[in-house]
């Protein structure tokens, strides 16, 4: 038999001015199951809470209803007080008679009646409340970072510096990502390699970081604090332990005409290669599609010349399982491939500007390689078709982005700045050259960004033309760019030697597949979704998984680095405790009733519902039922309302509790 | 704004099922802003509209509610990613069923009220109360309530026995 205590608060005069609190308490005392009811001027004050604790002990109360303000305000306060008095905190409920009653009604009789009814409702509810134990989950203090670009590198270094083990997975043969491809960076024009490569080396040398390059995520199991990640280490055909990085194999390889994707296919590489000279780890990989040994079985030169005997044609993919407690996703971006329709998205190709058909139409990243001192031209701006120095260069912005009809409506954020940078780099290297920029808007809101953009126009003499390009075509060795200048209202035609397109920033190919493995959500463009756009910009809705960098949306380097450190901070917060405490408002399955339809699994946005086999003593399968992992469950209850056999219950909001409330009315 | 002083012959009973993150907070805001609305509504708090079982709406009507309000976060703003989308889909189908069994759909209101929309909460509650007041008492289900009492519990000995036999 329950002995409920009802405590009605005056809230100074906030409640008692409109609601007859004494009468509410008197009415409550008559309700079935109520053993004690009283009113007090300030229930949340120290004496008020003392009164509550004293009453619990004196009247041997089993449940408590506090009729006061909104539970959003003081539920925690009163549950704590109840806990201190020796009761389970979840045996305390609050009746909101201030925000939902005294403050919104003027009529004293009506307000008093409503307050009494609200109390009655909560009295019936609290009778059905169960003792809920706090859920504790152990935490594995190791982090997984997916992606070895600047976002992943920064997050990994921060977490590792805090003393935690980090597993870094990169799918390319070297870490570095897109930042390693850049020439100079805005708005300071410092050399990307100079600031990036030391960080890459730090990662390689850090005692707390385990690096898996040329590897991909195969499978992710578990939940916050307890993930099991299976990593596929693709066959490099070179033993990482034995290789000294001398590079003899690369100089002797007879296959020398393979386009180097790191140089955006401008330069050539061998079949056994490192993507760029400063690669980390400095261990080559054999490109099996282009290697004679793998194609025809004839060659093996690299193996013969390799002193340490590191080349291993027999090597196979290996699976490694790493237990981790938190995951940072930093898979980055790629540029819109405008020459053909990307096969894994609904986005229509963007062929108007001749990319892929006219050799001297290139994208921004290719221009970075042309301008880079370590690039295929040694930092000279030379056009790809004939290696001549271009005297007139046209830059076109918003190619593919901000074009709803082409399938991408968002702004790619970085192009205004990198185009301004490109015009400067061009002007610094080709003094008699002229840069033209066709733009729609200039979006340069970062620190020192507007100054940088204006410098491109005012000091570096780039000609900015507001208007879009309608058409371009090859005429002899020139490219004629036709567009409009809407500021003046005239048609413009420029004969260019080189055209650089600022193409849309898109998530990495396969971002959706990875999201499905991780159980995180993504938007229609396949950028990963944060838990809350404003207040949880780093967390995923799935607990224990954090986002960093351009995998979440277009970002420049400063933003990416800030977010990477923020993600690292979140991971460290998680690792600060040995055990994770969670509110016990989670769902559970009544196995006797579950028929294993898994409708609950389909609606669960958190992937908290698992399949569980029930076997008899002989080990024969009786049936497969749903199981809610309390570590993952967020407590929304969508599964419960969905379950056709009513076999799922959400603690704290059980059918019994809700129906008791409805019946009390 | 509705005047509390004005008395009517018939005071409808309105039950509101709301999510804790948006509409409950919106109703709190109406309170802290001292906005006034009819005292007919009784609020039941849920973690998410996704938790609201259509059975509760039937139960409310059966229990004597004259109007029912279901309200949660705006589409895309769900605290639980997509709970309100599930609720919306569920209720779109459920409305047809209610219509089929003879409940006037004007007695049932779905709305999105965010935590910042105290005014909208007042508007929604006032509108529904006035509309239901004009419609009169809901009698169809009250007779049913007398015939059958569902405890809301599935842990009856009879059912347990049946399960064990399976």
Facing residue for A100 by CB, picked from B43, B52, B65: B43
What residue in B sits closest to A599 (Cα-Cα)?
B86
Integer-rounded Cα Rg, in Å, for chain A is 32
Quick one: pLDDT band at residue B145, thresholds 50, 70, 90? Answer: low
A636:B47 CB<8 A:
yes
Residue A230 preceded by cis peptide, ω within 30 = no
Distance from the B156 Cα atom to the nearest Cα atom in chain A, whole angstroms: 12
Q: How many CA atoms lie within 13 A of A660 on its CB side?
A: 19
Are the beta carbons of A662 and B63 closer than 8 angstroms?
yes
Distance from the B1 Cα atom to the nearest Cα atom in chain A, whole angstroms: 11
What pLDDT, on the 0 to 100 scale, is given for residue B2? 47
Distance CA B15, CA B65 (A): 6
Map residue A310 onto helix, strand or coil.
coil
Total CB pairs under 8 A between chain A and B:
144
Whether residue A109 lies within 8 A of chain B, CB to CB, comes out as no
Per-position b or e across A230-263, b if 16+ CB within 10 A of its CB: ebbbbbbbbeeeebeeeeebbeebebeebebebb
Facing residue for B39 by CB, picked from A70, A114, A640: A114
Please tell me which residue, B147 or A69, carries the higher pLDDT value: A69
Which chain A residues touch B163 with a CB distance below 8 Å? 592-593
Which chain A residues touch B150 with a CB distance below 8 Å? 659
- Residue A628 φ/ψ, nearest 5 degrees: -95, 120
Which chain A residues touch B5 with a CB distance below 8 Å? 106-107
Q: For residue A601, what are the contacts with CB-CB under 8 A and spacing of at least 6?
A: A609, A610, A611, A626, A639
Percent of chain B with pLDDT over 70: 84
Tracing tokens 């259509």 back to the chain, one arrives at B54
Distance CA A442, CA A603 (A): 42
Mutation pick from A121, A542, A636 vs chain B, by most beta carbons of B within 10 Å, is A636
Distance from the A326 Cα atom to the nearest Cα atom in chain B, whole angstroms: 20
What is the mean pLDDT of the segment spanning B142-158? Answer: 61
Facing residue for B163 by CB, picked from A593, A646, A653: A593
Quick one: pLDDT band at residue B78, thresholds 50, 70, 90? Answer: confident
Which chain B residues touch A96 with a CB distance below 8 Å? 28, 43
Residue B154 pLDDT > 80, yes or no?
no
Distance CA A511, CA A527 (A): 7
What pLDDT, on the 0 to 100 scale, is given for residue A524? 85
A638:B86 CB<8 A:
yes
Facing residue for A665 by CB, picked from B5, B42, B86: B42
Distance from the A472 Cα atom to the nearest Cα atom in chain B, whole angstroms: 41
Which chain A residues touch B36 with a CB distance below 8 Å? 104-106
Distance from the A427 Cα atom to the nearest Cα atom in chain B, whole angstroms: 47
What pLDDT, on the 0 to 100 scale, is given for residue A619? 92
- Residue A654 φ/ψ, nearest 5 degrees: -75, 160
Determine if residue A337 is left, alpha or beta; phi over 0 gives left, psi from -120 to 50 gives alpha, anything else beta: beta
Distance from the A511 Cα atom to the nearest Cα atom in chain B, whole angstroms: 19
Are the beta carbons of A651 and A584 closer than 8 angstroms?
yes
Facing residue for B83 by CB, picked from A106, A636, A646: A636
Whether residue A103 lies within 8 A of chain B, CB to CB, comes out as yes
Distance CA A337, CA A330 (A): 21
What pLDDT, on the 0 to 100 scale, is given for residue A491? 95
Are the beta carbons of A537 and A563 closer than 8 angstroms?
yes
Distance CA B45, CA B20 (A): 6
B81:A521 CB<8 A:
yes
Whether residue A646 lies within 8 A of chain B, CB to CB, comes out as yes
Scanning A111-150 for CB atoms below 8 A from B yields 111, 113-114, 117-118, 121
Say how many C-beta atoms besides its own lie within 10 A of residue A158's C-beta. 22
Are the beta carbons of A290 and A255 closer than 8 angstroms?
yes
Facing residue for B28 by CB, picked from A99, A107, A640: A99
Mutation pick from A592, A641, A646 vs chain B, by most beta carbons of B within 10 Å, is A641
Q: Is A298 exposed, middle or buried (0-12, 13-18, 19+ CB in 10 A)?
A: exposed
What pLDDT, on the 0 to 100 scale, is given for residue B140? 73
Residue B164 pLDDT > 90, yes or no?
no
Which tokens belong to A76? 């925690």
Distance from the A273 Cα atom to the nearest Cα atom in chain B, whole angstroms: 45
A636:B15 CB<8 A:
no
Give average pLDDT by consecutive 10-residue segment, chain A, 665 residues.
94 95 96 95 95 96 96 93 95 96 95 96 95 90 97 98 97 95 94 93 96 96 91 95 93 93 91 94 94 92 94 95 97 77 45 80 94 92 94 94 84 96 96 95 94 95 93 93 93 96 91 89 89 87 92 96 98 94 91 94 91 94 94 91 94 93 91
Facing residue for B152 by CB, picked from A606, A636, A656: A656
For A93-111, give the secondary structure using H, E and C: EEEECHHHHHCCCCCHHHH
Q: For residue B11, what are the contacts with CB-CB under 8 A and spacing of at least 6?
A: B40, B133
Scanning A525-544 for CB atoms below 8 A from B yields 541
Distance CA A355, CA A337 (A): 9
What pLDDT, on the 0 to 100 scale, is given for residue A516? 87
Hey, CA dihedral for A97, A101, A104, A105, is it positive or negative? negative
β partners of residue A66? A7, A94
Which chain B residues touch A653 with a CB distance below 8 Å? 46-47, 51
Which chain B residues touch A117 with a CB distance below 8 Å? 42
Facing residue for A592 by CB, picked from B36, B150, B163: B163
Mutation pick from B40, B64, B152 vs chain A, by most beta carbons of A within 10 Å, is B152
Check residue A69 and report its DSSP letter.
Answer: S
Scanning A601-620 for CB atoms below 8 A from B yields 603, 605-606
Tracing tokens 């490219």 back to the chain, one arrives at A479
B31:A110 CB<8 A:
no
Whether residue A380 lies within 8 A of chain B, CB to CB, comes out as no
Which chain A residues touch B81 with a CB distance below 8 Å? 521, 541, 605-606
Which chain A residues touch B28 with a CB distance below 8 Å? 70, 72, 96, 99-100
Map residue A23 onto helix, strand or coil.
helix
Give the closest residue to A519 by CA, choosing from A537, A542, A546, A544.
A542
What residue in B sits closest to A69 (Cα-Cα)?
B28
Distance CA A437, CA A418 (A): 12
Q: For residue A49, what are the contacts with CB-CB under 8 A and spacing of at least 6?
A: A43, A77, A78, A81
B154:A521 CB<8 A:
no
Pairing status of strand A490-496 against strand A478-485: antiparallel
What pLDDT, on the 0 to 100 scale, is given for residue A176? 95
Check residue B1 and report its DSSP letter.
Answer: -
What pLDDT, on the 0 to 100 scale, is given for residue A338? 54
Distance CA A246, CA B91 (A): 68
A665:B15 CB<8 A:
yes
B4:A663 CB<8 A:
no
Mean pLDDT of chain B: 86
Which chain A residues touch B63 with a CB distance below 8 Å? 662-663, 665
Distance CA A236, CA A238 (A): 5
B39:A107 CB<8 A:
yes
What residue in B sits closest to A533 (Cα-Cα)?
B77
Distance CA A532, CA B46 (A): 20
Residue B148 pLDDT > 70, yes or no?
no
Which chain A residues touch B152 with a CB distance below 8 Å? 655-656, 658-660
Which tokens belong to A602? 């389909």
Whether residue A591 lies within 8 A of chain B, CB to CB, comes out as no
What pLDDT, on the 0 to 100 scale, is given for residue A269? 94
Which chain B residues touch A655 with a CB distance below 8 Å? 53, 152-154
């Amino acid at each position: 038999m329950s002995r409920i205590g009802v405590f009605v608060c005056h809230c100074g005069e906030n409640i008692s001015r409109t609601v007859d609190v004494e009468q509410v308490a008197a009415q409550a005392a008559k309700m079935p199951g109520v053993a004690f009811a009283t009113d007090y001027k300030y229930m949340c004050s120290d004496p008020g809470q003392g009164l509550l604790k004293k009453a619990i002990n004196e009247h041997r109360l089993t449940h408590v209803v506090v009729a006061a303000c909104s539970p959003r305000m003081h539920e925690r306060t009163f549950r704590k007080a109840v806990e201190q008095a020796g009761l389970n905190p979840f045996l305390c409920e609050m009746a909101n008679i201030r925000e939902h009653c005294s403050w919104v009604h003027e009529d004293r009789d009506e307000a008093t009646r409503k307050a009494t009814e609200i109390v009655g409702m909560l009295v019936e509810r609290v009778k059905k409340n169960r003792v809920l134990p706090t859920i504790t989950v152990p935490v594995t203090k190791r982090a997984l970072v997916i992606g070895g670009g600047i976002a992943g590198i920064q997050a990994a270094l921060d977490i590792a510096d805090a003393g935690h083990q980090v597993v870094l997975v990169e799918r390319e043969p070297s870490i570095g990502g897109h930042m390693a491809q850049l020439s100079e960076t805005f708005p300071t024009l410092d050399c990307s390699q100079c600031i990036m490569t030391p960080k890459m080396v730090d990662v390689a040398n850090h005692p707390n970081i385990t690096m898996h390059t040329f590897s991909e995520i195969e499978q992710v199991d578990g939940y916050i604090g307890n993930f099991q990640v299976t990593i596929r280490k693709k066959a490099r055909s070179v033993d990482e332990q034995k290789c000294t990085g001398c590079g003899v194999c690369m100089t002797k390889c007879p296959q020398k005409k393979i386009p180097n994707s790191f140089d955006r296919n401008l330069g050539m590489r061998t079949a056994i290669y490192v993507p760029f000279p400063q690669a980390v780890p400095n261990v080559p990989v054999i490109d099996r599609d282009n290697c004679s040994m793998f194609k025809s079985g004839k060659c093996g030169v690299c193996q013969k010349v390799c002193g340490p005997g590191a080349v291993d044609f027999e090597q196979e993919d290996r699976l490694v399982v790493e237990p981790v407690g938190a995951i940072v996703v930093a898979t980055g971006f790629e540029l819109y491939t405008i020459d053909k329709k990307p096969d894994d998205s609904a986005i229509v190709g963007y062929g108007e500007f001749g990319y892929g058909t006219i050799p001297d139409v290139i994208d921004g990243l290719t221009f970075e390689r042309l301008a880079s001192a370590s690039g295929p031209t040694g930092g000279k701006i030379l056009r790809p078709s004939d290696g001549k120095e271009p005297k007139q260069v046209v830059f076109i912005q918003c190619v593919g982005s901000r074009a709803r009809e082409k399938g991408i409506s968002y702004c790619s954020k970085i192009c205004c700045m990198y185009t301004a940078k490109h015009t400067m780099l061009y002007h610094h290297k080709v003094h008699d050259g002229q840069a033209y920029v066709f733009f729609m808007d200039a979006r340069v809101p970062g620190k020192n960004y507007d100054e940088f953009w204006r410098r491109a126009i005012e000091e570096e003499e780039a000609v900015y033309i507001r208007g879009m390009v309608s058409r371009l075509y090859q005429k002899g060795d020139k490219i004629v760019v036709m567009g409009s200048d809407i500021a003046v209202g005239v048609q413009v035609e420029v004969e260019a030697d080189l055209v650089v397109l600022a193409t849309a920033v898109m998530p990495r190919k396969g971002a959706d597949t990875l999201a499905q493995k991780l159980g995180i959500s993504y938007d229609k463009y396949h950028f990963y979704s944060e838990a809350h756009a404003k207040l949880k910009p780093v967390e995923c809705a799935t607990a224990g998984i954090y986002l960093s960098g351009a995998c979440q949306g277009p970002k420049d380097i400063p933003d990416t680095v800030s977010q990477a450190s923020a993600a690292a901070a979140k991971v460290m917060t998680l690792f600060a405790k040995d055990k994770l405490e969670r509110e016990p408002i989670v769902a559970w399955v009544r196995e006797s009733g579950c028929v294993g339809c898994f409708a609950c699994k389909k609606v669960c946005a958190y992937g908290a519902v698992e399949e569980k086999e029930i076997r008899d003593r002989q080990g024969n399968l009786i049936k497969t039922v749903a199981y809610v992992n309390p570590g993952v469950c967020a407590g929304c209850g969508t599964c419960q309302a969905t379950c056709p056999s009513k076999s799922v219950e959400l603690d704290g909001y059980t059918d019994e509790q809700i129906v008791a409330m409805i019946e009390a009315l | 704004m509705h005047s509390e002083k004005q008395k009517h012959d018939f005071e409808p009973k309105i039950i509101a099922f709301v999510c804790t993150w948006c509409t409950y907070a919106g109703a709190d805001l109406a309170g802290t802003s001292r906005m006034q609305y009819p005292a007919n509504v009784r609020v039941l708090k849920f973690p998410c509209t996704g938790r609201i079982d259509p059975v509760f709406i039937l139960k409310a009507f059966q229990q004597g509610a004259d109007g029912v309000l279901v309200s949660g976060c705006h589409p895309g703003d769900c605290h639980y990613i997509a709970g309100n989308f599930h609720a919306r889909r569920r209720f779109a189908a459920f409305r047809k069923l209610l219509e089929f069994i003879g409940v006037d759909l004007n007695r049932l209101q779905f709305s999105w009220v965010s935590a910042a929309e105290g005014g909208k909460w007042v508007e929604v509650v006032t509108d529904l109360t006035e509309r239901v007041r004009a419609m009169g008492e809901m009698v169809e289900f009250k007779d049913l309530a007398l015939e059958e009492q569902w405890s809301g519990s599935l842990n009856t000995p009879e059912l347990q026995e049946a399960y064990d036999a399976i």
